Amino acid sequence: MDQAKKNTFLEIFHSAPELLSSAPGRINIIGEHTDYNNGYVLPAAIHLRTSFLTAARPGSRVRIWAENFREEETFDLEAIDPSHGKCWANYVKGIFWVLQKEGHKLSGMDAMIWGAVPLESGLSSSAALEVCVIKGICALLAIDLPALEMAKLAQRAENEFVGVKCGLMDQFISVFGRKDSALFLDCETLDYSYHPLNLEKAGLSILVYDTKVPRKLAASEYNRRRQESTQALEVLKKKGIRSYKEATTALLEVCRGEMDPIPYRRARHVITENERVRRAVESLQKDDFPGLGELLFHSHESLRDDYEVSCPELDLLYDVGKGYPGCLGARLVGAGFGGSGIALLEKRTGEGFRKRLLAEAKKRGFPGPEFYEIAIGQGAAVSSV
C-alpha cells in the first residue's frame, strides 16, 4: 500500500483509511461475440488494477474522491441518482444502488479510487472499478456476499444503473482471475476452469494494440449482430439443438437454404469461435503457443468476414502480424468497429513490432495507436491498511 495514497486520503477526508480493495482489468484471449450467445470465452485478468481505499463515517453520506480525474462526488444513500457530468461516478453509485436493492443495509463512508487500467482501451476498466468497489463495501460493512454474487451484482449495476447492457464475462474474470492462468467460462452455465498461461516461461508476451478509433458504430451494430445470430439460432433449433454450443458447421450447412446469407454468416462465426475456444484450451494445456496463435488469426478472419465487426485500423494489426517474424497470432478484441486488438509475440520482437505498426498506421493516415504490454494478474483482493 502506497503511503502517499494514505496521506492523500487523510488530507481530503481528515481521517485515516481502514481498508484497501482492488480488482484487475482483463483481456479476452479468444471467444468474441460468443458470451451473449451463451457460448465459451477464455479471458484472463491482467496486472493493471483499480483500487478503492475507504473508511466508514457516521450517517448516510458517501464521499468519493477520484484521484485520476481529481474530482469528488458526494451523495446520500437515501437518494442515489445518476450523475450527468461525471461518468465514472455512475459506476461507483451503481454498486451502492444495487446492494441496497438487494436489501443490504449500507452506511456512510469516505473513499478514494484510482486506477492503472487505461480507459476505453478494451481492457474493461469499468468492471475493474465496479468489482473493487463492491469488494471494498462488503469487507468494510461485513456483508457476506459470495464471489459469484459479487460478479452478478456488479454486472446488474452496469446494466440497470449505468445503462450498459454488458454480459457477465468482464465482472466474472475480475472477481475470479488467477495469476498466470486463463479462465475457460461457459457463459450459459457459468461453469469454469483454470488453464496455465505460461507466457514468461515461453519467452512470450501479449501486446494490446489500442487503435484510438472511437467505437461509434459499436452499440447499434452490436445490437444488430445479436438479433441476426439469434435469428439463425431459431432455424438451427428446429433441428433439435438447444444452443449454439450444440451446433456444428455440418448442421449449419444443412440449414443454409433456410437462412438469409447474413444470419448464416453470423452463425458460422459463433459456431466456429466456440470451437476455437475449446481448441485454445487444448493448446494451453500443452503449452502449444504457435497453435494458440493460429487460432487468434483465424478468430480475426471470422470476425472480419463472417461477423463483419472489424475496421481498417484493426485489420492492420492482423496484416502486420501475419507477416511479422515473432508474431504468433493477432486479432481484434471486444465489440469491434474500433477499440483494441491483441498480439501474441516473442518478447524479443516486441519493440520492432510496435515500430512497424506505428509506421504503417502513419502511412495509411490512421490515428497513432497506443500499446500496453500485459502480464496475467490476480483477481479482486482486499486488505486492511
Place of cell 478494451: 122
Mapping DSSP to helix (H, G, I), strand (E, B) and coil, where does residue 176 land?
helix
Query: Residue 81 catalytic?
Result: no
User: Of the residues 170, 287, 305, 319, which is catalytic?
Assistant: 170
If 0-12 CB within 10 Å is exposed, 13-18 middle and 19+ buried, where does residue 226 land?
A: middle
Q: How far apart are CA 135 and CA 382, in angstroms?
A: 7
DSSP 347: G
Cα torsion at 348, 352, 358, 361 (round to 10°)? -100
Residue type, 308: E
Q: Judge whether 41 and 34 are in contact, CB under 8 Å.
A: yes
Residue type, 243: S
Residue type, 41: V
Helices vs. strands in the chain: H and E counts, helices first: 12, 12
User: Degrees (nearest 5) of the Cα angle 209, 170, 371?
Assistant: 15
Q: How far apart are CA 263 and CA 240, in angstroms?
A: 19
Q: Judge whether 137 and 143 are in contact, CB under 8 Å.
A: yes
- Any idea which residues carry the catalytic annotation? 170
